[in-house]
C-alpha cells in the first residue's frame, strides 16, 4: 500500500480507515517486476472540528473524561474516537459523519434516537 498524508497541512492520516475508507493504491513487486511507478493524488483537505470544551450543563464545569466519536454515515464501522481535550480533529472531505460525545456518569449526546450529522465538507 502506498499512503501519504500531512495532518498539519489538513491532510488526514490515511492509515486510519476512517479517513481512507480503505481506498488506497497498492503495488505488487516481484522478481520479474522489481520496480513500480505510483502516482499519489491527495484528496481535498479535510475539514476541522475544533473541540473547545465539553461542559456539564448544570455546573458548567469541564468534563475532561469525555470522548468524541466520529463515524462515517455510509459505513458506521469506520470511526475514530478521541479525548475531548484533543482540540482539533480532521474530518474527511466530502464525507458525511456523525458525532457522539460520551463521558462516564453522563448520557451520551446526542440521544441514541437522534443523530448529529456533519455534512461532508467540499
pLDDT digits (tens, 9 = 90+) for 84-112: 888 889 998 888 999 999 999 998 988 76
Backbone angles phi and psi of 9, in degrees to 5:
-100, 5
Give me the residues of the chain with pLDDT under 70, please: 112-122
Nearest to 43 by CA among 85, 79, 78, 9: 9
- The model carries a pTM of 0.77
Amino acid at each position: 500500500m502506498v499512503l501519504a498524508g500531512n495532518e498539519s497541512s489538513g491532510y488526514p492520516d490515511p492509515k486510519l480507515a476512517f479517513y481512507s475508507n480503505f481506498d488506497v493504491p497498492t503495488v505488487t513487486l516481484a522478481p520479474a517486476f522489481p520496480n513500480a511507478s505510483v502516482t499519489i493524488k491527495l484528496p481535498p483537505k479535510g475539514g476541522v472540528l475544533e473541540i473547545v470544551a465539553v461542559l456539564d450543563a448544570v455546573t458548567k464545569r469541564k468534563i475532561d473524561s469525555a470522548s468524541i466519536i466520529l463515524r462515517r454515515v455510509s459505513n458506521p464501522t469506520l470511526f475514530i474516537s478521541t479525548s475531548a481535550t484533543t482540540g482539533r480533529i480532521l474530518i474527511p472531505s466530502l464525507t458525511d459523519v456523525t458525532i457522539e460525545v460520551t463521558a462516564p456518569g453522563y448520557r451520551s449526546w446526542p440521544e441514541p434516537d437522534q443523530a448529529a450529522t456533519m455534512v461532508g465538507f467540499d
